Structure 1
Amino acid sequence: MQFPRLMIAGVHSSSGKTTVSLGLMAALKRRRIKVQPFKVGPDYIDSGLHSHACGRSSHNLDSWMMPPQVMQTVFAKNAASAEISIIEGVMGLFDGYRGERIAGSSAEVALMLNTPVVLVVNVKSMSQSCVALVKGFMEYQPEVEIKGIVLNQASPFHREWVLPNLESELGVKVLGCVPWQESISIPERHLGLLPADEHGELADHLHKMADLVESNLDMEAVLALAGEAKPMELIWQAPQVEKRTVIGVARDAAFSFYYQDSLDYLSELGAELKYFSPLNDASLPEVDGIYVGGGFPEMFLPQLSRNSGMQKALRQAHRMGMPILAECGGLMYLSRTLKDWEGNSWPGVGLVPGEIIMTRKLQELGYIKAIALRDTVIAGKGEVLRGHEFHYSTLEGINPQDCAFGLEGGMGRGVSRGGYAEGSLLASYLHLQLRANPKAARRFVEACAEYGNR
């Protein structure tokens, strides 16, 4: 089957690939082209921005967390209904899991999906060295097809002199030279860019990005390059399932970090999803289980702590034995107290008997192997899950005997204990892609179904 597709990758982080990707997505959508966005690696914020740019949910492709068949499934089931797929890379093209060459990198994803790569190069303060840099990228892993170049933060000099040298010396198409434009910068906070749902001027920014790309990239060459991608023998057929259970999903400005494909997979396993807001709702919907994902609860502590009705409802659900799965921000919210950056303590739900302390220092970042230390609603003792962590807070006061996981990876501090498990509750900093951890997803759905059938 033909899947027109491109990957927008960078030579390093902050090279401009998000600006180029968003601008390209928005420009194509403006032409009434159906664009399916994807993001390489464990990222929620860029995916949310993609979704606003394209009007379609963005999906993550992660070659470290996902077996090849799972990644191909995620790609095929979403790309099949689009006219073009744009995959935004992560970090630099060849950057991935520490110590394993290109494992987990954008390059590995491009190889697995046989996708042409457009390389974004920030050429500020660079001239002919740009040619040497691109040559190195093209020759480092020749199987990765770098078919186009975009020069970012480019000047008229780059257009007049560097562009023709790249094309004549390396035989690669330069798709355009994008100048610096401060008005399209997206605000940032401690975990990256400001989430789409909190960015009041996002529509205007996307419009300006589309204008920037339309004015400076050869759009017809971009479409032609995507159309030259080799056919793929991938077919997706949606399973026919009956509803088995109802799962409540916390989703609002404080809790927005979910892999859309994880939610889709829960539905495919027979779960009906009902969304609720810990910020605004005073009670839970009628559900058999609860999933509280990550996000920025630390930015909404006064409002979350004032909503005593929701906190009481969650405590009651736990007392009744309802399965509860909480990831990162969910762990923070369910803790006894949360201490902000100024040292103020705010009451949490109180299901996790510890204190969350916000710090100015990054506490964990990276891929994690989690070995279950006990039976929980998502894993039996000894089973291994693959996920990732990214947080500036710490959890203090947990008895080591109550920890849910032995953790390996991340920032390389050896094996440690983490998370909290008690009865039908599992809360940890670990983010999971559920289709990539199918036993965990099925176990959670089964637990919810059993609770609902009591």
Structure 2
Amino acid sequence: MTISNQHARPRLIIAGTGSGAGKTTVTLGLMKALARSGMSVQGFKCGPDYIDPTYHTAVTGRASRNLDAWMTSPEYVREAFATASAGHDISIIEGVMGLYDGKDPLSNTGSTAEIALVTQTPVILVVDVRSMARSTAAIVLGFQQLEPELNIAGVIVNRCGSAGHYSIVKKAIEQMCGIPVVGWLKREEDMSIPERHLGLVPAIERGELEPLFERAADALLEGTDLDAIIAIAKAAPAIEEELIMNREDASRQNTDPISTGVHLKSSEDSTSGQLDEHGTSSSPVIAVARDAAFNFYYPDNLELLEAAGARLKYFSPLAGEGIPSEADGIYLGGGFPEEFAALIADNVSFLEGLREAVRSEMPLFAECGGYMVLAETLTNREGLTYNMAGIIPAHVQMQAKRAALGYREARAVEDSFLLKKGEVIRGHEFHYSTMTYQEEGDIPYAYETKGLRGMKQEGYARGNVVAGYTHVHLGSHPGAAVRWVQHCQSYRLRRSGQHI
């Protein structure tokens, strides 16, 4: 059963003409400036990226969300946006690459433009105007004409040499394109957002990037009409929000690989679930590793597990913590384990807890960084080798050259607690390490993945272990979250000696 309601959702997409145009600087400066003014800001990121949402979360104080109409469906994206934006004064969506760049050079698939069209969100286009004057108008005009249905509602010009330079490009754009230029940023090299270095997460947690966020807001406010930007956001059309009355039942019935999903507000440690005769929750507990080494999780994945009936218990391997005693399943996300390999290797209780979980057939899901930790050894960029869990008979080697990048459509090779054989889940792969198996001829691969360069076998699935480099999005197949939780519940009942 659904009820359709019209809801005002003031919103903007900050898009760039290309990577490096300055959209992240503008996004963070705008978020910080709006937050300073007392507005409640909800951040979003187009595409599968984890780093930019980490910035957003630090600036706004609330979890940023990924919107991706390839990994999930357009309907899922609309519901995800409607749910997460509810109750906030304004939503700021940061684009990915250039406005029209995505999975397919012949369409808007996987692009910022697709998200703008799906969510009916006005676009502020960020243009790098170094060494240009009237030619800037030609660029903006081309972006307008490529997709006439897109609402490019304003422009911010970046890296202007002077106020005079800004005046020239502003007049040219407004004359030829018929849209306002609402602001500009000076050509300041020190305003660049730092490279995505591996110490990013701990640096944010220590508050070291707060001065950068403040400077970005100051720079933006110096040359930008904030009221005009807010007016554009408020002029966004109301969106029709479908409120699923029985979300859990809808999720359980949903086995279509690419379809809408379930969104519930996440908490630090979920305590939802039924109570048993002793007054304690009977819902299965999934232990989620979360710290600077394991921090790449789509909030949707965690919420879909909760919606399917799981309680989430977070723990930190870097803080010396082992697998929580109440765990009925384990989720090891991605991150930077190679930067903390010595700490992980020294955490005997964590590594032995993983081994014991495998021996007891507890469901264990690991992706990217978590997958690496399940190997026998990990060699970091300095050439130092550390012993890991030894669950997967393989060695991990970090390298300077990127090993993989891109969307993945992952088809299950065999039945597992996550997928049935042949079922498909979508995700993204991005890593600088390689996994070398000891026995190349007898590897129990988890997936056959399809990407830009064709098909390959990937990951590891044996017993109740499913692992791989692919960061899956459960929203592409919500039935997988339900199956995972059901297997954790079965494990819980076995552990307690109850009949299933």
Q: How does 1:206-355 map to 2 (within 5 A)?
A: 206-236=213-243, 239=247, 242-243=273-274, 244-285=283-324, 286-355=326-395
Q: CA RMSD in A?
A: 1.8
Structure 1 stretch 198-207 or stretch 254-263: which is displaced more? 198-207
SS in 2 for 1:186: coil
Instruction: Note if 1:171 corresponds to 2:182.
Output: no
Give yes or no for the alignment of 1:24 onto 2:20: no
Correspondence for 1:111? 117
The alpha carbon displacement at 1:186 in A equals 3.2
Whole-Å Cα distance in 2 between the matches of residues 208 and 351 of structure 1?
47
Distance in structure 1 (CA, Å) of the matches to 2:69 and 2:198? 22
Instruction: Write the distance in 1 (CA, Å) between the matches of 2:67 and 2:321.
Output: 36
Q: How many residue pairs get matched? A: 452
1:136 counterpart = 2:142: yes
**Distance across 1 between alignment mates of 2:29 and 2:203:** 15
Cα distance per residue 1:24-61 (max 9 Å; x no partner): 01110111101111000001110011011111110000
* Larger deviation, residues 261-270 vs 38-47: 261-270
How far 1:228 sits from its partner (Å)?
0.5
User: Residues 52 and 111 from structure 1, CA distance in 2 versus in 1: closer, same or farther, beyond 3 angstroms?
Assistant: same
- Corresponding residue of 1:405: 447
* TM-score scaled by length of structure 1: 0.96
User: Structure 1: where are the runs of 5+ without partners?
Assistant: none
- Indicate how the Cα distance of structure 1 residues 433 and 166 shifts in structure 2: closer, same or farther if over 3 A, else same: same
Q: Between the two proteins, what is the percent identity of the paired residues?
A: 46
What secondary structure does 2:319 align onto? coil
Distance (whole Å) between structure 2 residues aligned to residue 226 and residue 189 of structure 1: 29
Residue 127 of structure 1 and its aligned partner are, at CA, apart by 1.9
Are the equivalent residues in 1 in contact too, given 2:104–2:110 (CA < 8 A)?
no
Deviation >4 Å, runs of 4+? 189-196, 237-241
1:44 aligned partner: 50
Residues 284 and 488 of structure 2 are in contact (CA less than 8 Å); yes or no, is this contact kept in structure 1? yes
Q: In structure 1, what is the Cα distance between the partners aligned to 2:338 and 2:191?
A: 27
* TM-score normalised by structure 2 residue count: 0.87
> Alpha-carbon deviations, 1:113-149, whole Å to 9, x = none?
1110000001112222211111100001111110100
1:56 match: 62
Q: Give the deviation of 1:344 after TM superposition.
A: 2.1
Partner SS state of residue 181, structure 2: strand
Tell whether 2:50 aligns with 1:10.
no
Q: 1:187 to 1:200 in 2, by over 3 A?
A: farther
Distance (Å, rounded) in 2 between the aligned partners of 1:99 and 1:208: 36
Residue 301 of structure 1: CA displacement? 1.1
Determine the C-alpha separation between the residues in 2 that align with 1:392 and 1:209: 30
The structural deviation recorded for 1:187 is 2.7
> Could you tell me how far apart the structure 1 residues matched to 2:71 and 2:219 are?
35
Distance in 2 separating the partners of 1:109 and 1:2? 18
CA contact 1:282–1:308 (8 Å) conserved in 2: no
User: How far did residue 237 of structure 1 move?
Assistant: 5.6
Moved more, 428-437 or 288-297: 428-437
In 1: Cα distance, 2:77 partner to 2:426 partner: 14
CA distance in 2, matches of 1:317, 1:394: 25
CA distance in 2, matches of 1:113, 1:192: 34
1:362 to 402, 420, 441: 402
Alignment CA distance shift 1:192-1:88 (3 Å)? farther
